């Protein structure tokens, strides 16, 4: 039981003191990537970290399996009582550390049920600006791209089958919860999947530093706010596959200016490209 200010809201919590308690199984060894990938896919769960991000997950309609607070932060989510149908575990800091494998500075974790991925056509309905990720392998990069895309007005993200998971803990954290608010889904078919976008009148722009490309600004010149544009981004390092590059309508590049550095990080390129897409929707900027 805990008291909040003058309102005396009482929150029912479950105090646990053993890291090995089976009710805490969702939170075990958060830095063990292989264990986590297996555990999270078997149980259809994902973890969110920090009060702000957890509130975004709840607002976006994700159902919690449980919430976890350290004693120091035990009141952080107290206002959620009655709105959240899930146990709220409170742990002493050392128990939390032993459970997750590091110091839980933010002191607030949530385990959530995943939702089924929507159909590509549903995600694209009404969308004008979308980002298509081929095989981005780094969770940090996936999260950063979602954050930029969401903040800069992109309507949806479509991912190739092998693109890293946006709901992995690191992606969620770096995205600041943008993975909850920005609609996304995965193509079933890498080889032919882009045809779905083409059939819906999306113009496919492949972002690539290659020589046979036009500047993004030139490619977008004359684009109207309601035109449908799909910006394709490829793997860190190698960029888009030959197949996806060839399927694009236009190969585009971000203008560079030397100093022995001839390419941008994929997240920097994505931010610039999303900013340019937003300019076409609101040309005054």
Structure tokens at 2: 């805990």
Structure tokens at 30: 């958060």
- Give the shortest CB-14-to-its own copies separation in angstroms: 30
- Give the shortest CB-260-to-its own copies separation in angstroms: 5
- Give the shortest CB-111-to-its own copies separation in angstroms: 21
d(CA 252, CA 187) in angstroms, rounded, equals 23
- Give the shortest CB-15-to-its own copies separation in angstroms: 32
Q: Which is nearer to its own copies, 28 or 278 (CB)?
A: 278
CA distances to 195, 201, 207, 240, 245 from 249, in Å = 12, 11, 11, 14, 9
- Give the shortest CB-183-to-its own copies separation in angstroms: 10
- Give the shortest CB-275-to-its own copies separation in angstroms: 5
Structure tokens at 209: 């530093």
Residue whose entry in the numeric block shows the structure tokens 């390092």: 237
Q: Which is nearer to its own copies, 92 or 151 (CB)?
A: 151
Instruction: Please state, as a whole number, how many other Cβ atoms lie within 10 Å of the Cβ of residue 79.
Output: 14
Q: Which is nearer to its own copies, 6 or 238 (CB)?
A: 238
Give DSSP secondary structure letters for 214-268: EEHHHHHTT--TTS-EEEEE-BTTTBS-HHHHHHSSEEEE-----TT-----HHH
Q: Which is nearer to its own copies, 70 or 267 (CB)?
A: 267
Laid out side by side, the sheet with 108-113 consists of 14-15, 88-91, 64-70, 108-113, 45-49
Residues that bind its own copies (CB under 8 A): 56, 59, 144, 147-148, 150-153, 174, 176-178, 181-182, 215, 217, 254-265, 267-272, 275, 278-279, 281-282, 285
């Amino acid at each position: 039981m805990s008291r909040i200010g003058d309102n005396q809201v009482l929150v029912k919590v479950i105090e646990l003191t053993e890291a090995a308690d089976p009710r805490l199984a969702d939170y075990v060894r958060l830095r063990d990537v292989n264990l986590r990938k297996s555990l999270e896919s078997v149980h259809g769960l994902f973890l969110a970290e920090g009060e702000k991000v957890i509130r975004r997950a709840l607002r976006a309609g994700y159902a919690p399996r449980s919430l976890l607070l350290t004693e120091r932060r035990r009141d952080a989510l107290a206002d959620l009582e009655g709105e959240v149908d899930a146990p709220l575990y409170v742990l002493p800091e050392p128990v939390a550390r032993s459970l997750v494998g590091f110091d839980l500075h933010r002191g607030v974790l949530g385990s959530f049920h995943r939702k089924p991925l929507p159909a590509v056509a549903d995600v694209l309905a009404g969308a004008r600006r979308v980002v298509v990720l081929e095989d981005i392998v780094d969770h940090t990069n996936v999260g950063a791209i979602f954050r930029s895309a969401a903040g800069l007005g992109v309507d949806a993200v479509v991912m190739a089958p092998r693109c890293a998971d946006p709901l992995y803990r690191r992606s969620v954290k770096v995205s600041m919860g943008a993975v909850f608010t920005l609609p996304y889904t995965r193509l079933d078919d890498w080889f032919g999947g882009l045809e779905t976008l083409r059939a819906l009148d999306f113009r496919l722009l492949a972002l690539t530093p290659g020589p046979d490309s036009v500047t993004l600004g030139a490619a977008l010149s004359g684009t109207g706010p309601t035109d449908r544009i799909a910006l394709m981004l490829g793997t860190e390092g190698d960029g888009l596959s030959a197949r996806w590059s060839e399927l694009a309508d236009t190969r585009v590049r971000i203008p560079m200016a030397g100093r022995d550095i001839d390419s941008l990080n994929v997240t920097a390129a994505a931010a610039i490209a999303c900013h340019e897409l937003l300019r076409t929707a609101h040309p005054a900027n």
